[in-house]
Structure 1
Amino acid sequence: PTFGEWVKYGLPFVPVMALVVGLYFYFAFRRRIQVKSLNISTLVRQASRKIGPMTRKEYITAAVLILLIVLWVTCSDRFGMGGPVILCIVLLNIFRILRWQDISKIQWEVVALYASACAMGKGLEATGAALYLADRFVAILPDFMHSGTGLAMATSLFTGIATNFMSDGATVSAIGPITVPMAIISQTSPLMVGLATAFASSFAHMFIIGTPNNAIAYTMAKDPLTGEQLVTLGDFFKHGFCILILSFLVMWLWVFLGYWRWMGFINGSVA
C-alpha cells in the first residue's frame, strides 16, 4: 500500500484505541491517583519556557520532517518509503544539522538486526517455505478463519502474540511472508491480511523486550528521590495482557467488522 492508503486504513484505529487504553488505566488506577487536579496546559507552557524559543536548526529540521511526510503521502507509490528518507537525510547534511560524526554513532547492530530479519523473511519466500507454512497454518484453522475477516483475525492474533517476544520489525519480516501467501491461498485480499499483520505487530504490551518503548518506560519509572522501581515487570505483564486483549477486541470489532467494511473491504476482498 502507499503511505496514503496506510493512513486511510490505520488512522481511525488510533483515537479509539487511545481512548480505550486511557479509560482502562483510569479505572485500574483511579483509587491510587494522588493528584486530583492537574492543569496540563500550564505544565506544558512552563516546560516550553524552560526550553526557550526554537532555533534556526530546529525550524529547518521541522520543515524537513514536514517535507518527508508530504513526500510519503504524495510520492510513495513512485519512490517508495526509502527515497524520500534518503533525500531528507541529504538535506539535513547540506544544512549541517546532521553531521557525519552523528551518522557514525548510529547503533548499526540494530540495522543489522532488522536486515537479518528481512533476509530471513525473504529466504522463506524465495525457497517456498513461506507458502508451505501458510498452507499448513490455514489447514489447522477453524473453518470460519480460512478466509476473509476470519483469516485477518487469525493472522493478527498470531502476530500480536509473537511481537511480544521480538521487535515489531522482526515480527513482520518473519511472519509477513507467511501471512500474505495465506491470503492468496484462501482468495482473501492480501492488502487486508498484510495490514492486519502490520497493525498487530504494534501490540507488544506484555514484556519490555517487545519494543524499545517498553524498555525506556521501565528504565525511567523510578522514584527520583528513593530510586524505587515504580513499574515492575509484573505490572507490565498484568496490565499489558489486559491491553493486549483490548487491542485485539478493538481491532476486530472496530477495524475488521467496522470501518474497513465501510471503506471497501467486503468479506476480505476489496469491493
Structure 2
Amino acid sequence: MIIKNLKYILPVIIPLIILLLPSDSFAIVGLTSVEQRVIAIFAMATLCWILEPIPIFATSVVIIVSELLLISDKGLWFAKTASPDLGHLISHKTIMATFASPIIMLFLGGFFLAMAATKYRLDINLARVLLKPFGTNPKYVMLGLMIITAIFSMFMSNTATTVMMLSILAPVIALLAKQDLGKVAFSLSVPIAANIGGIATPIGTPPNAIALKYLVNENSVSFGQWMVFGVPFVAVLLFIAWLLLIKLFPTSTEQINLTIKGKFLKTPKAITVYVTFILTILLWLMGDIHGMNSYVVALIPVAVFVIFKIINKDDLKRISWDVLWLVSGGIALGVALDESGLAKNAVAAIPFANFHPLLLITGASVLCLVMANFISHTAAANLLLPLVAALGASMQSLLPYGGEVVLILGVTFAASLGMSLPISTPPNALAYASGNIETKQMAKIGVILGIVGVLIAYAMLYILNKSHFIG
C-alpha cells in the first residue's frame, strides 16, 4: 500500500525534508535560504510532473503559490525573517505577472485563431482543398495528410488537429484489410505529423513559448526568424518520417479515395475569420517591417473576434486554460531559479568548462528527449530550460557552436521529439486508442525520429547561426 501511494507521498516528503534541513548546511556550499526554498519547490515540481499525483496544470498553480508564500517580498512573515544568509526575495508582482506574461498572450491569440477556424470550418475546408492534388495513391495520400496535419499544428493545438485528422481518416482505414500494415502507417502518420508540425512556429507547442522566455536581448528570435529554421526542419523531418512509414509499414492497397464533404462559408463572420487569420499570420511574419512584436500581434485576433461576436462567452469556456496555467507555472519556476541566483550557482558548482561543448549540447538534448517520452513535453521544457539557459550564458566555449541560442533551441526541439510511447503525447494516445497500432510499432519509429530529429536540429541551427539568421 505504501509503494502504491508513493506518488502522493514523495512530492510532499522530499520538499519538506529539504525545507527543514538547517540553512547552515546550504550556506556551506554558498546557497542562501531563498535558494534552499527554490530547491524544495523545484523538487516538488519535478516529482509532481513525473508522478502526476495531481493534474500537471495544478502543479503549476502550486509552484506559483509556493513562490508567493516562501520566496516573495510579500510572503509569510517568518519566510522574510532577516538573516545573514536569507538571500534575495523576489517581487510578488514579478511572480504574479507570470499568469499574464506576453508568452501567455501569444498562446491565447493562437487559441482564438484555432477556435474561430474550427467554428467556421476553415480547417476542414482547407484540408479538403489541400488534399486534392495528392491523388489516390496510398503513399501520396499519406504524404498529403501529414503535410496538412503539420501545417494545422503550426497554429492549432496538436491534440485538436489530431482529433480532426483522425476523424477524416477513419472511413479510409476502415476500408483497408485487417492485416494491411497500411493501417499502422496511416494511424501513425497523423500523430507524428502533429508532433513535428508544432515545432515550426512559436505558438505551435508550449515548449516553444517557454523557450522564448530565455531568448531575449541579443539572443531574441522573432516569429519570422523562428519559422526560417522551424519550417525547413519540419519539412525535412516530415519527409524522413513519411519514408520510414512507407518502408516499415507498406500497404497492400493500390488506391484510396479520400472524400471530405464541405464548402467554404461566405457569411460576414466567416469572411472576417478568414481575413483575420491571414492578416495575423502576415503580421507575425513581417515583424521587422511594421515594428510590432508577435505578442502584440497575437492580441489583434482576440479583439476582432470578441468585437464581432465570433467568439462568445460560451466559446471562452472551451479555451485550454489548463495549458496556459501549465506554461505560466514553468515561467514562474524559471523566474525563481534565475532571480534567486540558484541557476547560476548550480551551473557554477559543476565544472562544465572542462566538458567539450558538443558533449554538453548532445547531453542536454538527449536528457530532454528521454524525459519528454515519459512526462509532458511542457514539463520537460519547464524543468530543463532554466538550467540550460544559465549554462549557455556562462560558457564562452559554446560560441563557436552557435552559443546560447542553439543550445536553448536544440533542447526545445528535443522536447517536442519525445513521441515513442502512447503516453508521450496526447496525439500518440489518440492514435493508439484507434486499436490499429502496437506500442512496439510506435516506439520503433518514435525512437528513430527522435534521434534523427535532434541531429538535424543542431545541424540546421548551427548553419543558420553561422549565416546570422539567428543569434
TM range (shorter): 0.7 to 0.9
The residue aligned with 2:225 is 5
Give the equivalent residue in structure 2 for 1:29. Answer: 249
The CA deviation at 1:28 is 0.7
Structure 1 range deviating more: 237-246 or 97-106 = 237-246
- The Cα shift of 1:98 comes to 0.7
Q: Counterpart in 2 of 1:18?
A: 238
Alignment partner, residue 195 of structure 1: 409
CA distance in 2: counterparts of 1:136 and 1:12, whole angstroms:
38
Letter matched to residue 238 of structure 2: A
Matches of 1:250 and 1:93, distance apart in 2: 41
Alignment of 1:200-219 (within 5 A): 200-219=414-433
* Counterpart among 254, 257, 278 of residue 66 in structure 1: 278
Residue 181 (structure 1) shift: 1.6
Deviations 1:211-244 (A, max 9, x none): 322223223x2xxxxxxx1113333223312221
Matched, 1:238 2:444: yes
Deviation at 1:262, TM superposition (A): 5.2
- Structure 1: runs of 5+ lacking an equivalent: 222-228
Deviation by residue 1:22-60 (Cα, 9 ceiling, x = unmatched): 111111112xx1212346xxx3xx31xx11233333332
Cα separation, partners in 2 of 1:138 and 1:167, compared to 1, 3 Å: farther
Q: Give the counterpart letter for 2:335 in structure 1.
A: K
Equivalence for 1:263: 467
- Distance in 1 of aligned mates of 2:467 and 2:447: 30
Larger radius of gyration: 2
Aligned-pair CA distance for 1:3: 0.9
Q: Give the whole-Å Cα distance in 2 for the aligned partners of 1:215 and 1:134.
A: 36
Cα pair distance change 1:60/1:197, threshold 3 Å = same
Q: CA deviation at 1:102?
A: 0.7
Shift of 1:91: 0.5
Q: d(CA) in 2 for partners of 1:159 and 1:84?
A: 31
Percent identical residues: 23
Task: Write the distance in 1 (CA, Å) between the matches of 2:387 and 2:447.
Answer: 25
Q: Secondary structure of 1:161's partner?
A: helix
- 1:180 paired with 2:392, answer no
Show the counterpart of 2:340: 127
Q: 1:108 to 1:180 in 2, by over 3 A?
A: same
Letter in 2 for 1:203: L
User: Structure 1 pair 26/142, CA: closer, same or farther in 2 (3 Å)?
Assistant: farther
How many angstroms does 1:137 deviate by? 5.9
1:166 paired to 2:347: no
Give the Cα–Cα distance (whole angstroms) in 2 for the partners of residues 72 and 256 of structure 1.
Answer: 21
CA contact (8 A) 1:218 1:232 kept: yes
Q: Distance in 2 between matches of 1:80 and 1:151?
A: 32
Q: Which amino acid aligns with 1:62?
A: Y
The number of aligned residues is 244
CA contact (8 A) 2:330 2:379 kept: yes
TM normalised by structure 1 equals 0.77
Provide the residue aligned with 2:298 in structure 1.
85
Aligned-partner Cα distance in 1 for 2:233–2:350: 27
- Counterpart for residue 287 of structure 2: 75
One-letter code aligned to 1:55: K
Could you say which residue in structure 1 is the equivalent of 2:61? none
- Structure 2: gaps (5+ residues): 1-220
- Residues 81 and 159 of structure 1: is their aligned pair in 2 closer, same or farther, counting only changes over 3 Å? farther
Task: Find the counterpart in structure 2 of residue 226 from structure 1.
Answer: none
Query: How far does the alpha carbon of each residue in 1:87-127 deviate from its partner, in whole angstroms, 9 at most, with x for none?
Result: 21111112221111110233433322222222122211222
Q: In angstroms, what is the RMSD of aligned CA positions?
A: 2.8
Please state whether the residue corresponding to 1:106 is helix, strand or coil: coil
Q: Which moved more, 1:53-62 or 1:12-21?
A: 53-62
Which structure 2 residues correspond to residues 133-152 of structure 1 after superposition, within 5 A? Answer: 133-135=346-348, 139=352, 143-145=355-357, 150-152=359-361
**Equivalence for 2:74:** none
For 2:331, give the aligned amino acid. C
